[in-house]
């Protein structure tokens, strides 16, 4: 880069910029003792040369988005913050409302904001010379993503905190700044000098030098009042007070290769925020859209027909240099906005004019125009016209907000009768039409839309596009000639009758005849995702039916009773069985019968139970939503139990066909179970020790372990003391408040008092707890063993760091943790609440089957640890016994 600048003769001038910055303390050299600081970042920079600039020809630009491969850039690491920059079209619209225009800029605006000392290390750069000199920025750098926010936030803060004597100009200046450019004006020449002086005084309070004032009217503070001046990308002719686009193109030679990249780059060079040249820039955009269909590369030469059209378009651009627009557009209390919209198969457009009746004449001025290429997906002309109406509504709404004219009269003109009919009439249209009509009605009033013949629609040229020569001849920016006439000479604007094409977007109504079978399962129940909700909804429906009967003496509006819930469940089951099992003869391999309520049940070999549901469970199909919701409810209610336990609980009341497959599929879809289940590494199984298979009483041979800690609401920690039987696999859980030996001995004494004294105790010797908690090895295992010897119990310790020796209790610790993790999640409980949950976990684990559950109806009930502990089984499916309650 240095060699190229020296060759072009700009190197010395480029160095002078940095020398001036160092003299003004904008940059500083990094001291030698800080060069090795690792927390730093270097910014690459390059010169931007603008020979036509009136203030700075060469400007260093720093690239904060540059990064090494695999590493973030500085901009990636910074918070960009919100965008406080005004839109260029809004600033220009306000600028055009003043008879006397004023333009200025802040000298070194970004460099007036200081950077904190600790942040300057990330703004280092190399001084442009042959030596390796390291400098760093002391001020905000243009090119860093957060710099625009910092500058605009500082300007807004300065204006908001201004003294009372400046309050009359604060709101005006807030809408006049675009970054460091100020574009404003005054209505009276007598106020021009005073306004400039007060504005400079106000901005100087924040250290900003607002300089370089340009105006179409001369005064003492104006540095330029003749010739052309650049204002936000446009050229302002100060003598004629007109605006035009900057057109600086060279004529392309015949040898130039026309590619997609060249078309896009040349089109984007024409910057016109007002939209006066949009009709000319539309044809190359359409060409570019057509080239996408060819699927050629960015630098591949385009076909001759495309190149010929583009050559013709480029070589006529020089004619646009004379296309200009009056800067000042008069406004008064009677001003009106007129919006013209149009569309065809290639583009849709909208333009807004202001009509002001003056003393001598009627003025019509273009405010802003908008053109958009039609999407690649083919759309009908009425739809494209409706999209143009939507663009026009958005455009005029933006102009009203920019000029702060919410009550100005607006008239919308379109040559599409179909689009106007959709906007004015309420109909059942398609989704595409409904969404856009809804937006148009939110932004405008449908009474303001009028019809104009196509030949009188000024937006027609914008939507079709034209050459530069035709644009120059049309002078469309002056508005339609009939708009300057009296309103009675305007087009009528009314639609006589409904267009036939309007019905093409009407929703098609279909007549559906549905034969409803009284024995069908309710369709609305199939939309439920919760079993209890489904039963409750159906129970309320049955109550409603009962309340609507003639013989109903009182309306029942209380909570659902157990009888109503049970009745609703049985009614749904009956409807489900009627749908899946037409007759009893369809069940050839199952001994099924109907009870007094008409519900199919399965005969079993169990005869000692009085419970009808346990003796003859209800038959349910496996492939239905009702069964899946029932299975899911039992699974969640029992701490996300596994297949065996869920099948055991369901078997007490229901007989599900292919139950294991159904339960497995339901549990496979459980999100929590998927989250916490993982396949462990498979190890080679070894023979069980003699104590695991000997004939003994429950809890005669036990394994002991501690799990935790768990945290309570008050911040305390508790541990779970686990006692498990080696033979019957039953468990006993207790909470202990500390890891002291006394606390553990008390827990063991409570276990002995409730479950009986064990003969042999297995446990870890404490060293295997070091990885999970540093306090666990503090247990005095020698004291614990002495206490056990006094009770005539044999205590056997596993070898150190051999946790697999205690796998038969470690597996149960994992089961407890999974139940607590799925049930509690991140919840924190009190001691009593946690103890209740632990007892529930103990009940669920002791209710798990120890043997395989068969699908055969003749199989006996599977064994569970609870059968050896208590006579009453732990069951989740509750039966309600109702008795008649009458007077004694």
pLDDT digits (tens, 9 = 90+) for 574-606: 888 888 887 655 576 778 888 888 888 888 776
Spell out the SS3 assignment of 458-524: CCHHHHHCCCHHHHHHHCHHHCCHHHHCCHHHCCCCCCCCCCHHHHHHECCCCCCCCCCCCCCCCHH
Average pLDDT, the chain: 83
For residues 401 and 384, is the Cβ–Cβ distance under 8 A? no
Which secondary structure element, helix H or strand E, spans residue 410, and what is its range? Answer: strand 409-414
Our CA dihedral for 448, 453, 459, 461, rounded to 10 degrees, sits at: 180
Same domain, 663 and 706: no
Per residue in 632-685, pLDDT tens? 999 999 988 888 999 889 888 888 888 899 999 998 888 888 888 766 666 676
628 HSE (CA, 13 A, CB side): 17
User: What distance in Å separates the CA atoms of residue 599 and residue 567, rounded to the nearest whole number?
Assistant: 12
Residue 252 inside a domain? The answer is no
Euclidean distance between CA atoms 868 and 848, whole angstroms: 12
Sort 888 into a burial class: Cβ within 10 Å, 0-12 / 13-18 / 19+.
Answer: exposed
Q: Is residue 826 part of a domain?
A: yes
Instruction: Please indicate, yes or no, whether residues 565 and 607 belong to a single structural domain of this protein.
Output: yes
The tens digit of pLDDT for each residue in 113-137 reads: 999 998 999 999 988 887 788 999 9
CB < 8 Å & 24+ apart, contacts of 646-649: 647/849, 647/853, 648/847, 648/848, 648/849, 648/853, 648/862, 648/864, 649/847, 649/875, 649/876, 649/877
Dump the DSSP string for 295-364: T--TTSPPPHHHHHHHHHHHTTGGGGGG-EEES-----TT-EEEEEEEE-SSEEEEEEEEEEE-SS-EEE
User: Which of the listed residues 629, 657, 674 is the one where a domain comes to its end?
Assistant: 674
Residue 875 Cα distances to 573, 644, 652, 861, angstroms: 21, 14, 8, 13
Residue 366 lies in a domain: yes
Please identify, among 240, 255, 271, the residue that sits at the C-terminal boundary of a domain.
240
Pairing relationship of beta strands 409-414 and 336-343 according to DSSP bridges: parallel
Query: Looking at the 3D structure of the chain, how many domains does it have?
Result: 4
Average pLDDT of the segment spanning 232-254: 85
* Secondary structure (DSSP) of 246-299: ----PPPPTTPPP-HHHHHHHHHT---SS-TTHHHHHHHHHHHHHHHHHT--TT
Lowest average pLDDT, out of 182-196, 358-372, 534-548, goes to 534-548
Of 153, 163, 125, 167, the C-alpha closest to 30 is 125
Q: Are 103 and 213 contacting, i.e. CB atoms less than 8 angstroms apart?
A: yes
- For the stretch 422-457, what's the b/e string if a residue is b when 16 or more beta carbons lie within 10 angstroms of its beta carbon? bbeeeeebeeebeebbeebeeebeeebbbbbeeebb
Query: Per residue in 47-95, pLDDT tens?
Result: 888 776 666 678 888 999 988 888 899 999 998 888 899 999 999 999 9
Among 351, 322, 356, smallest CA distance to 339 is for 351
Q: 650 and 740 share a domain?
A: no
Residue 785 reports pLDDT greater than 70 = no
HSE, side-chain direction, 13 A CA sphere, residue 536: 8
- The enclosing domain of 458 has a CATH number of 3.30.420
Residue 328 belongs to a domain: no
Taking each helix axis as running N to C, give the angle between helix 260-268 and helix 278-294, from 0 to 180 degrees, rounded to the nearest 10. Answer: 160
Half-sphere exposure of 468 (CA within 13 A, CB side): 19
Give the CA diameter of the chain. 121
User: What would the pLDDT profile of 349-397 be if each residue is shown by its tens digit?
Assistant: 999 999 999 887 899 999 999 999 998 888 999 999 999 999 999 999 9
Claim to verify: residue 51 and residue 180 sit in the same structural domain: yes
Confirm if 84 and 149 have CB atoms less than 8 A apart.
Answer: yes
DSSP-derived 3-state class of residue 105: strand
Report how far residue 876's alpha carbon sits from residue 647's, in angstroms, rounded to the nearest whole number.
Answer: 11
3-state helix, strand, coil in the chain (%, to 5): 40, 15, 40
17 C-beta neighbours (distance < 10 Å), count? 17
| Residues 650 and 721 grouped into a single domain | no
String of DSSP letters for 33-65: GGTT-SS--B--EEEEE-TT-SS-SEEEEE-TT
* Cα distance between residue 343 and residue 383, in whole Å: 9
Residue 553 belongs to a domain:
no
Considering the domain architecture, whether residues 497 and 533 belong to the same structural domain is answered as no
Looking at the structure, do residues 105 and 227 belong to the same domain, yes or no? Answer: yes
Order of strands, edge to edge, in the sheet holding 449-451?
362-373, 347-357, 336-343, 409-414, 449-451
Which residues in 523-616 belong to E strands, given as ranges?
Answer: 592-594, 600-602
Residue 570 inside a domain? The answer is: yes
Residues 6+ apart with CB under 8 A from 558: none
Q: Does residue 690 lie in a domain region?
A: no
Residue 86 has what pLDDT? 92
DSSP string, 750-787: HHHHHH---SEEEE--SGGGTTT-TTGGGS-HHHHHHH
pLDDT of residue 46: 87
> 417-424 and 381-403 helices cross at what angle (nearest 10)?
60
C-alpha to C-alpha distance for 364 and 337, rounded to whole angstroms: 10
pTM: 0.58
Give the domain extent around 428.
333-502
CA angle 783, 785, 786 (to 5 degrees): 65
**pLDDT band at 266, cuts 50/70/90?**
confident
pLDDT bin (cut points 50, 70, 90) of residue 875 is very low
The whole-number pLDDT of residue 143 equals 85
Are 537 and 420 in a shared domain? no
Q: Give the number of other CB atoms < 10 A from CB of residue 801.
A: 11
Which CATH number characterizes residue 773's domain?
Answer: 3.30.420.10
**Among 181, 205, 240, where does a domain finish?**
240
Residue 586 confidence (pLDDT)? 57
pLDDT of residue 770: 34
Instruction: Give the model confidence (pLDDT) of 706-733 as tens digits.
Output: 888 888 888 888 988 889 998 888 889 8
Whether residue 859 is predicted with pLDDT greater than 70 in this model: the reply is no
Q: Are residues 462 and 568 in the same domain?
A: no
Compute the distance between CA of residue 310 and CA of residue 302 in angstroms, rounded to an integer. Answer: 10
- 472 pLDDT higher than 70: yes
**Is residue 303 included in any domain, yes or no?**
no
pLDDT of residue 116: 92
Model pLDDT, residue 883: 43
Identify whether residues 350 and 449 lie together within a single domain. yes
Phi and psi at residue 32, to the nearest 5°? -60, -35
Buried b (16+ CB within 10 A) or exposed e, 373-405: ebeeeebeebbbbbbbbbbbbbbbebbbebbeb
Please check whether residue 574 is in contact with residue 597, taking contact to mean a CB–CB distance below 8 angstroms.
Answer: yes
Residue, of 770 and 609, whose pLDDT is higher: 609
Do 711 and 612 belong together in one domain? Answer: no
**Same domain as 828, residue 710:** yes
For residue 611, pLDDT over 50 is answered with: yes
């Amino acid at each position: 880069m240095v060699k190229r600048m020296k060759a072009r003769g700009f190197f010395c001038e480029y160095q002078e910029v940095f020398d001036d910055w160092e003299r003004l303390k904008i940059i500083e050299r990094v001291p030698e003792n800080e060069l090795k600081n690792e927390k730093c970042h270097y910014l690459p920079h390059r010169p931007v040369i603008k020979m036509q600039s009136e203030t700075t020809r060469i400007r260093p630009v720093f690239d904060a988005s540059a990064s090494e491969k695999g590493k973030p850039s500085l901009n990636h690491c910074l918070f960009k913050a919100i965008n406080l920059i005004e839109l260029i079209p809004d600033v220009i619209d306000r600028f055009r409302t003043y008879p006397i225009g004023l333009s200025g800029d802040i000298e070194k605006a970004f460099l007036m904001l200081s950077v904190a000392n600790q942040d300057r290390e990330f703004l280092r750069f190399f001084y442009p010379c042959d030596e390796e000199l390291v400098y760093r920025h002391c001020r905000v750098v243009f090119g860093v993503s957060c710099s625009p926010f910092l500058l605009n936030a500082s300007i807004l803060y300065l204006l908001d905190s201004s003294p009372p004597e400046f309050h009359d100009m604060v709101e005006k200046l807030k809408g006049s700044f675009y970054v460091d450019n100020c574009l404003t004006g005054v209505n009276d020449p007598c106020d021009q000098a005073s306004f400039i002086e007060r504005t400079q005084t106000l901005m100087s309070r924040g250290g900003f030098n607002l300089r370089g004032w340009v105006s179409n009217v001369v005064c003492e503070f104006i540095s330029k009042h003749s010739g052309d001046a650049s204002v936000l990308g446009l050229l302002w002719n100060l003598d004629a007070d007109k605006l035009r686009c900057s057109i600086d193109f060279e004529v392309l030679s015949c040898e130039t290769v026309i590619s997609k990249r060249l078309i896009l780059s040349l089109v984007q060079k024409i910057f016109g925020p007002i939209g006066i040249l949009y009709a000319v820039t539309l044809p190359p955009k359409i060409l570019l859209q057509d080239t996408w269909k060819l699927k050629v590369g960015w630098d591949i030469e385009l076909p001759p027909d495309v190149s010929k059209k583009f050559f013709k378009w480029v070589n006529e651009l020089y004619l646009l240099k004379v296309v200009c627009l009056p800067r000042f557009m008069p406004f008064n209390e009677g001003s009106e906005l007129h919006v013209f919209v149009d569309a065809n198969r290639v583009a849709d457009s909208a333009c807004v004019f202001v009509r002001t009746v003056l003393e001598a004449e009627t003025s019509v001025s273009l405010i802003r125009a908008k053109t958009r290429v039609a999407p690649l997906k083919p759309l009908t002309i009425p739809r494209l016209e409706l999209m143009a109406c939507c663009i026009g509504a958005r455009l005029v709404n933006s102009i009203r907000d920019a000029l702060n004219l919410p009550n100005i009269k607006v008239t919308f003109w379109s040559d599409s009768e179909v689009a106007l009919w959709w906007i004015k009439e309420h109909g059942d249209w398609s989704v595409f039409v409904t969404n856009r009509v809804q937006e148009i009605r939110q932004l405008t009033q449908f009474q303001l839309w009028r019809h104009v013949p196509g030949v009188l629609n000024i937006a027609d040229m914008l939507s079709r596009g034209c050459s530069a020569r035709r644009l120059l001849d049309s002078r469309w920016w002056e508005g339609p000639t009939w708009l300057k006439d009296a309103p009675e000479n305007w087009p009528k604007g009314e639609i006589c009758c409904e267009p036939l094409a309007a019905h093409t977007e009407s929703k098609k109504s279909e007549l559906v005849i549905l034969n409803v079978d009284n024995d069908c399962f309710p369709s609305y129940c199939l939309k439920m995702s919760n079993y209890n909700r489904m039963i409750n909804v159906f129970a309320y429906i049955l109550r409603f039916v009962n309340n609507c009967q003639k013989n109903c003496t009182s309306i029942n509006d209380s909570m659902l009773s157990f009888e109503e819930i049970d009745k609703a469940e049985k009614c749904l089951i009956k409807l489900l069985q009627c749908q899946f099992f037409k007759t009893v003869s369809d069940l050839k391999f199952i001994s099924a019968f109907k009870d007094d309520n008409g519900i199919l049940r399965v005969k079993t070999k169990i005869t000692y139970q009085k419970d009808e549901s346990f003796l003859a469970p209800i038959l349910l199909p496996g492939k239905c939503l009702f069964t899946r919701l029932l299975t899911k409810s039992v699974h969640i209610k029992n701490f996300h139990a596994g297949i065996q336990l869920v099948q055991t609980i369901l078997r007490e009341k229901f007989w599900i066909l292919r139950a294991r497959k159904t339960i497995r599929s339901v549990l496979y879809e459980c999100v929590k179970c998927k989250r916490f289940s993982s396949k462990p590494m498979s190890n080679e199984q070894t023979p069980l020790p003699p104590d695991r298979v000997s004939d003994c009483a429950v809890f005669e041979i036990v394994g002991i372990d501690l799990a935790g800690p768990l945290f309570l609401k008050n911040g305390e920690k508790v541990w779970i003391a686990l006692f498990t039987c080696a033979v019957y696999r039953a468990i006993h859980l207790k909470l202990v408040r500390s890891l002291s030996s006394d606390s553990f001995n008390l827990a063991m004494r409570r276990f002995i008092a409730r479950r009986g004294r064990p003969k042999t105790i297995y446990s870890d010797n404490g060293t295997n707890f070091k990885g999970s908690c540093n306090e666990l090895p503090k247990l005095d295992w020698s004291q614990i063993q002495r206490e056990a010897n006094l009770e005539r119990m044999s205590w056997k310790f596993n070898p150190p760091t051999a946790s697999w020796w205690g796998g038969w209790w470690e597996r149960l610790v994992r089961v407890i943790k999974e139940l607590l993790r799925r049930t509690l999640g991140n919840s924190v409980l009190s001691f009593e609440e946690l103890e209740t949950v632990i007892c529930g976990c103990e009940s669920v684990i002791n209710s798990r089957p120890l043997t395989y559950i068969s699908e055969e109806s003749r199989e006996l009930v599977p064994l569970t640890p609870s059968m050896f502990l208590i006579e009453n089984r732990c069951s989740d499916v509750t039966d309600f016994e109702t008795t008649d309650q009458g007077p004694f």
